[in-house]
Chains A and B, each alone.
Chain A
């Protein structure tokens, strides 16, 4: 991994934290500053069938990260995601629905060093 700057940390993140309404918590900014990669969950206003197919893709990618020892967490919530993760035999990730930047940062800082970071760095 020479010259590679990845963090081995992935946050499955509800759309409202990636594209926050004015005055709401800017999760993408916090996650970016903290060095986490973001996998955006589909917006809630898309049709159910489109959301389902988008969650299939999210789950398959999350499965790969999880199986390879990256730390995968869920920021926000999405019941459809749980079904998609279950379909690829991937456990429910640690989850936070943060109300503030401080709460989100505390959660991120509490996470252990990812297994992949030990193996590959």
Chain B
């Protein structure tokens, strides 16, 4: 069996920060491809939703990078890592699909701005995108390492990025799902 552990918002765009929901509920470009290829879907929790709620502001890594938030992510990562480990032990192929640009769920691109704080007032297009993982993905990697399991093959959906290219996103997902 093949199993994709996916970011919460791929099945539930209602979890997004205000202004970020690309569709009503299920982000079909990723989900439809997984199902067409016969992949089982397992949804990870949204680490930001339960911690800072639905009324949260758009934020960068530095605003989430606190001991309390990392403990919260570690709690979630412990459950997800246990599920991933059980799949790996059964010899199943596992991938992880995150969200590029996210301070928590980014797998190759996250957001960073050490000066950001105080009254919100940053213009659209502020240059916060940078190469790196989100905080939850970092904690999941650590938790998997502690269990002797490597981070699965990863890719991130790109719809939150200003230069989102639907065809490139699909190609990256297809490449990820190749055995």
Contact = CB atoms under 8 A, between A and B. Distances in A.
A28 B16 contact: no
Interface string B61-104: 00000000000000010110011001000000000000000000
Contacts of A7: 14, 24-25
Contact of B25 (A38, A46, A60): A38
A7 B53 CA distance: 17
A83 to B, nearest CB: 16
A5 B23 contact: yes
A57 interface: yes
A39 interface: yes
B20 interface: yes
Interface residues of A, number: 37
A6 B14 contact: yes
Contacts of A31: 25-26
**Majority secondary structure, B binding face:** mixed
A104 interface: no
Given A61-B49, A68-B54, A37 B25 contact: yes
Interface stretch (B40-48, B109-117, B138-146, B162-170): B40-48
A89 interface: no
Contacts of B54: 64-65, 68, 70
B1 to A, nearest CB: 10
A41 to B, nearest CB: 9
Most buried by A among B8, B12, B13: B12
A-B interface, 9 closest residue pairs, ranked by CB to CB distance from nearest: A37-B12, A32-B26, A35-B24, A6-B21, A37-B25, A7-B24, A57-B45, A40-B43, A37-B14
Interface of A: 1-10, 18-19, 28, 31-32, 34-40, 42-43, 46-47, 50, 53-54, 57-58, 60-61, 64-65, 68, 70
15 contacts: A4-B18, A4-B21, A5-B13, A5-B23, A6-B13, A28-B41, A31-B26, A37-B15, A37-B25, A38-B26, A50-B82, A57-B79, A60-B50, A61-B8, A64-B50
